[in-house]
Structures are given as C-alpha cells and as structure tokens.
Structure 1
Amino acid sequence: MKQLIIAILIVTTLAGASGGFYGLRVVAPGSERSEKETRAEDKPAAAASLQPNSVLFDLPPIVTNLSMPQDTWIRLEASLLLDEKAVPHPEALGAEIAGDILAFLRTTTLTQIQGIAGLQNLRQDLNERVAIRSNGSVKELVIRTLVLQ
C-alpha cells in the first residue's frame, strides 16, 4: 500500500509540475499583446528550435528495479531527438543508449528521484549520458512516461 501511495504521489507531482510549467506565463506590465501577435511570433521561434532534419526515435521501454529499496521497480519510456543525417542507424545507437540508461537506473535510489528537483536531476543525468554515448549527435532525451511501483 505504501508503494502504491508513493507511485501515485510521484505521478501526481509530475503531472502537476508539467501542467504548471506549461501554463505559467509571466507578462511584464504594459507588454500585453494580442493573441494573434503572440501566435505569429511564437511560430518562428518554435520552428528554429526544431530543425527540419530532426526526428524522434522511440527507445524500447526500460524496466528495472532501483538499488534502494530493491523491491521498487521503475519503467521508463523515452524518445531520442536526433538529427537524421548525423545518425545513419538510430536503432543501434538507441540500443546502446537504452543499455546505458538501464545500468544508470539500477544504481539510482528512490530518494534521488523524488519530487520535482529529483525529476530534473534525473533528466539532466540521462541527457548527459545520452550526449556522451552519442558523441553529441542526439539533441535531447525526451521522457514520455516514468512509472515507479
């Protein structure tokens, strides 16, 4: 029962944090713009950040137990944002990265990934590992699902 409550709290925290970051906008006084102007200006910025050769490659689900407590299981579903010209065989690179992530998660404890700060640290650690393994050809690891049981 305790594990179920912890899993529900983590999922709720992740959902609340992502919704809070998505909905949070700070607008300086006097800088209000119409919705049409805002949308027109946001499109080029979004297009510039996602280049035309970028693709999402889905990794296979990674399931393992944590180091502490050992009866806690984690399931991670993630995708790689990569340049399709820089990575000719994303399947091979994806398999290597999935192995690295599996090894990393087996050394992780539950207290390290609890809360918003823990999730941010986990994302940073995984992105660093992916960058090292891919020699910088992967732009980002996108966590789609993270479940603890």
Structure 2
Amino acid sequence: MTAPIESYTRASGCARDCGARDRAILSASREWGNAMGFRFQRRINLGGGWGLNTSGSGASLSARGKHGSIGTKGFSLRSGIPGLSYRQGWGKNSGAIVAIVALAFMAVAIVVQVLLVVLPLLWQCVLWLALTTYDLCVYGVRKVRGLPT
C-alpha cells in the first residue's frame, strides 16, 4: 500500500509532466478503490464545449453549455444561482422522459436567453420607427402650413 502513496507524492511535486502525476493518481485510485473517500476525476477539454471525463472507473464523453451539461452517464442543469443545480443519471429507471424534460428545459432556457438579447434590439427598432414617423409628420405639417422647417 505504500507504493501508490510514494508514487503519488513523487508525481504530485512534478510541475512539468502533469500526465505522470495524473497517471500516478489514477493508478493509486485503482489500487485503493473507494478506501478513505479518495476520488480521482479529470476533464480533458476537446473544444467547443465537448470534453472527455476520466476517472478511476473509466472514461465518458460530455458536452457542456451555458445552462448545463449532458453526457453518456447523465445530465445536469444549472440554475444560475451559485451552488444550486439539478443532476440526474441515465439509470435504468430514469427512462427517456427525463431526457426529454431535460432537453426541453435547456431549449426553454436558450429561448429565454435569445429573447433577452433580441427584445431590447426590437424595442430600439420600434422606437426609432415611431420617432422617425413623428418627425416626418411634423415636417409635413410645417411644410403645408408654410412654417419654417
């Protein structure tokens, strides 16, 4: 049992080769199993929100977005409140309904975010159109009455 601890301490001090440190931690977590609550997890960023999650029990693929993440082992939804999120696994009892509800929730969140961007722009366009129409009417009335424009 001392070999994993020694390899972990030797590798953890290594600043140049992070891969060696991660391999040492991974091998130690495999040898220790779930003893003493130790857990190893590492996310390798693949770009575009995609990532490869590695742990002592294996690897899985996941996609992260602004409102949550979805992967081969389940999904999570962020509420926007720090520390508050919803997490659900793809267990045998969860079924496809949970996936549909999660995707619907993410779709609603995206639509709300888009509306928060589009509605102010739309309001600016309507306001510009109303003010331009008003100025055109004032100009026309002044022109007909012979007042200076």
Q: TM-score, normalised by structure 1?
A: 0.24
Is the radius of gyration larger for structure 1 or structure 2? 2
Q: Does 1 or 2 have the higher relative contact order (CA < 8 Å, sep 6+)?
A: 1
Q: TM-score, normalised by structure 2?
A: 0.24
